[in-house]
């Protein structure tokens, strides 16, 4: 692995739009809670406070970031499903990762992710093809169809889980 920042590669905007691929991405969302819990299982505080790469977030910060990021994503989906092309509010994820709650035990965010992803997967499974074409506007990155946002957050789920599992492998944990 040459670039520790992208252990599964960078997000590809040219993703597969098939129903099968979409269902696979929904499964990734649905399974993240268990996968992430397994990725951090048995880690002690020293290990949780180890950055996944030089200059990167710690494992602990990464878990809390996923909860923050995906709570925002879930809200963005609900806004797009209930409003016409809403403009969403971006946030400074790097600054959020420095706030005091990023030092809490990871179990706090694992519980959030478990509940959130259970609800999110149920919402995603209820959506129609037309629903996946609904969109929101990100002031910095433009218009996002929910189909593309799903692809992004499925990638994001695997991306950060791989940060942790790759670190464990490199460190022999």
Specify the pTM.
0.96
With a pLDDT cut of 70, the percent of the chain lying above it is 99
- pLDDT at 58 (0 to 100): 98
How far apart CA 44 and CA 51 sit, in angstroms, is 14
Mean pLDDT score, 42-59:
97
Count the residues in the chain.
173
Local confidence band at 138 (pLDDT 50, 70, 90 cut-offs): very high
pLDDT of residue 62: 98
Q: What are the tokens at 13?
A: 């905007």
Query: What's the pLDDT score for residue 2?
Result: 72
Sorted by where each begins, the domain ranges of the chain are 19-171
146 closest CA partner among 159, 130, 122? 130
Q: What percent of the chain has pLDDT over 90?
A: 98
Q: Where are the beta strands (DSSP E) in 65-114?
A: none
Return the CATH superfamily for domain 19-171.
Answer: dinb family like domain (1.20.120.450)
Q: What is the pLDDT of residue 159?
A: 98
For 1-28, what is each residue's pLDDT tens digit? Answer: 579 999 999 999 999 999 999 999 999 9
Q: Is residue 41 a contact partner of residue 11, using CB atoms and an 8 Å limit?
A: no
């Amino acid at each position: 692995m040459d670039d520790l920042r992208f252990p599964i590669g960078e997000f590809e905007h040219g993703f597969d739009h098939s129903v099968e691929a979409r269902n696979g991405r929904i499964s990734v969302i649905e399974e993240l809670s268990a996968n992430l819990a397994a990725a951090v299982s048995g880690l002690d505080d020293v290990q949780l406070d180890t950055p996944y790469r030089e200059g990167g977030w710690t494992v602990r910060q990464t878990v809390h970031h996923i909860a923050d990021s995906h709570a925002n994503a879930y809200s963005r989906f609900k806004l797009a499903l209930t409003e016409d092309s809403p403009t969403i509010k971006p946030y400074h994820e790097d600054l959020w990762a420095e706030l005091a709650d990023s030092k809490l035990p990871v179990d706090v965010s694992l519980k959030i992710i478990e509940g959130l992803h259970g609800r999110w997967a149920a919402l995603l499974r209820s959506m129609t093809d037309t629903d996946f074409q609904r969109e929101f506007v990100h002031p910095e990155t433009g218009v996002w169809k929910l189909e593309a946002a799903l692809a992004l957050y499925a990638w994001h789920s695997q991306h950060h889980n791989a940060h942790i599992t790759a670190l464990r492998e490199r460190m022999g944990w």
